[in-house]
Amino acid sequence: MRVLLTGGTGRVGSRVVPLLLNRGDRVRALVRDEARGGPLAARGAEVMSGDLRDPAALRGAVDGMDAVVHLAAATGRDAGPEQMTSVNRDAAVALARAALRAGAARYVFASTYFVYGPGRGRPAAEDDDLKPQGDYPNSKAAAEDALRELYRRDGLELRIMRFALVYGYGDPHLTTSMARIRTWPAHRRLHLVHHADAGQAVLRALHTEGVDGRAFNVADDAPITAAELHRLHGRPLDTEAADRPLDDPWAGIVDTTRIRAELGFRPVFPTIYTAWDAGAW
């Protein structure tokens, strides 16, 4: 399959490109900085530079492709609300429209489990109403809505991946998140997914037939408590952490029944401890 991938120099994309190439797919990576795409080119990917907000760049990127894996995003680390909307919603929709015109109807879209919001009293499932809180999840939820309309109206072969917090293989994302987790109750849990399994999920969504229009939660089998995360990082808990109230013990926890049943997903690293033991932290 000829696959256009965005976000190839990012945390997830840089690890998905080799998986696609190893499977035998032909990969074109659309990157903002061509120099940063050097490692992708060295692995055998075609690297094309361009901005997701440039219609001409999108037309050139999708030309000759069979499918799109859209992993690029603007987050709160490097963008304000307007940029997150223009990149995460508007550019995602423009890319999908360009892909449809080029005959690359299959479209894997990276979203986030933050689109659910709290207050369900159970793990969030894919058919739940979305209640995003914050600029980043709002922009992703808006993109999902617009892409679903293209699925219903124009035949976009949409597959939405709602990733838990991705970690592993030296990615500092979880470690940098510890500043926020430090303020949590000791028993609040965080749902994670290892990079190996994020990549597995993307490949399964891309190559599985009969799942158009479906959303999938992508997470491991065992959410981990703030207390355990502190211990794994060698950091002491705040003395008041045990007494902090936990209003919603299910906030940020998702149901993975669908991805297991429909995509055959089984985590390589079902818990953070298996990744730790394997040296894949």
Domain map (residue ranges) of the chain? 2-164+194-218+255-267
Nearest to 211 by CA among 153, 261, 257, 154: 261
**Strand (E) or helix (H) holding 4:** strand 2-6
**Strand (E) or helix (H) holding 161:** strand 157-163
CA distance 75 to 170: 20
List, in order, residues 6 or more apart from 144 with CB less than 8 Å away.
109, 111, 115, 130, 160, 215
Q: Is 224 helix (H, G, I), strand (E, B) or coil?
A: strand
CA distance 155 to 151: 5
Distances (CA, A) of 279 to 194, 195, 233, 274: 12, 13, 14, 9
Catalytic residue among 136, 151, 167, 169: 136
pLDDT of residue 104: 98
Residues 41, 47 contacting (CB under 8 angstroms): yes
**Ordered DSSP codes for 71-86:** -----TTT--HHHHII
Catalytic residue status for 167? no
CA distance 198 to 12: 7
pLDDT of residue 243: 96
Tokens matching residue 237: 């808990």
pLDDT of residue 31: 96
pLDDT per residue as tens, the chain (281 positions)? 999 999 999 999 999 999 999 999 999 999 998 889 999 999 999 999 999 999 999 999 999 999 999 999 998 777 788 999 999 999 999 999 999 999 999 999 999 999 999 888 999 999 999 999 999 999 999 999 999 999 999 999 999 999 999 999 999 999 999 999 999 999 999 999 999 999 999 999 999 999 999 999 999 999 999 999 999 999 999 999 999 999 999 999 999 999 999 999 999 999 999 999 999 98
Identify the CATH number of the domain defined by range 2-164+194-218+255-267. Answer: 3.40.50.720
Residues 192, 272 contacting (CB under 8 angstroms): yes
Nearest to 94 by CA among 76, 81, 82, 109: 109
Q: Please report, to the nearest 10 degrees, the dihedral formed by the alpha carbons of residues 114, 17, 264, 161 taken in order.
A: 20
Q: Is 1 helix (H, G, I), strand (E, B) or coil?
A: coil
Tokens matching residue 250: 């299910």
pLDDT of residue 34: 86
